[in-house]
Amino acid sequence: FSGTSGAAPMVSGAAALLVQSFPDRSPLEIKAMLMNNAETSVYTNPATLPGVLAPITRIGGGEVRVNRALAARTAMWDEDTKTPALSFGYHSVSYPMVLSRTVKVRNFSSKTRRYSVHKSFRYDDDAASGAVTLMAPHSVTVRGNGTATFRVLLAINPAKLGDWPWANGSGGSQ
């Protein structure tokens, strides 16, 4: 039970539960609550340990955890694209480049909250190359029932990027 045929009804049902519990929240806030609280530690073969993390292209936003979403007091999303997935897209880079995104944080609780911001890579070897550097503040403070924003910068050093693995010929496209 996997793929779109399994995911669509599960996510729809989870979203319906959130809308029923929080009728005043926007569709973007509901989607963010689901995506921000999904389980991303998904493995290609969970029966073998230590497992290998599945690629994001296989798991999307992660496995739905409606219990976490229902308990969430916070939601975050990309302010420009209005999506909870923070993506910098694909860029063909031949010179150093810095990309930027604005993250909006919504505090649903009545108390001011300070959130720690943790930067990480899905795979250790991505960080080890030094080709990509993430920059963000160490924390953001959001007043009760309010919002705040912070910037995330992604610096790319093309001199440290590995070779493109999909060349023309038998191993790639013609």
Summarised one tens digit per residue, pLDDT across range 35-75 is 999 999 888 887 887 788 888 888 888 899 999 999 999 99
Tell me the percentage of the chain whose pLDDT exceeds 90.
Answer: 64
- Give the pLDDT mean for 148-162: 95
Residue 173: per-residue pLDDT: 47
141-to-77, 84, 159, 174 alpha-carbon distances in Å: 16, 19, 37, 51
3-state secondary structure of 155: strand
Residue 50: per-residue pLDDT: 76
pTM attached to this predicted model: 0.86
Element (H, E) at 135: strand 132-135
Angle CA 86–63–23, to nearest 5 = 75
Residue 174: per-residue pLDDT: 43
Most confident of 40-49, 103-112, 113-122: 103-112
Work out the pLDDT band at 165, boundaries 50, 70, 90.
low
- Give the pLDDT mean for 2-18: 89
CB 38, CB 62: distance < 8 Å: yes
Find tokens 């694209």 and name the residue: 81
Of 169 and 53, which is predicted with more confidence?
A: 53
Residue 130: per-residue pLDDT: 92
**Average pLDDT over the chain, rounded to whole?**
90
CB 107, CB 140: distance < 8 Å: no
Give Cβ neighbours of residue 32 (< 8 Å, ≥ 6 apart). 75, 76, 77, 84, 106
Q: Is the pLDDT of residue 116 over 50?
A: yes
- Give the pLDDT mean for 114-130: 89
Q: Is the pLDDT of residue 169 over 80?
A: no
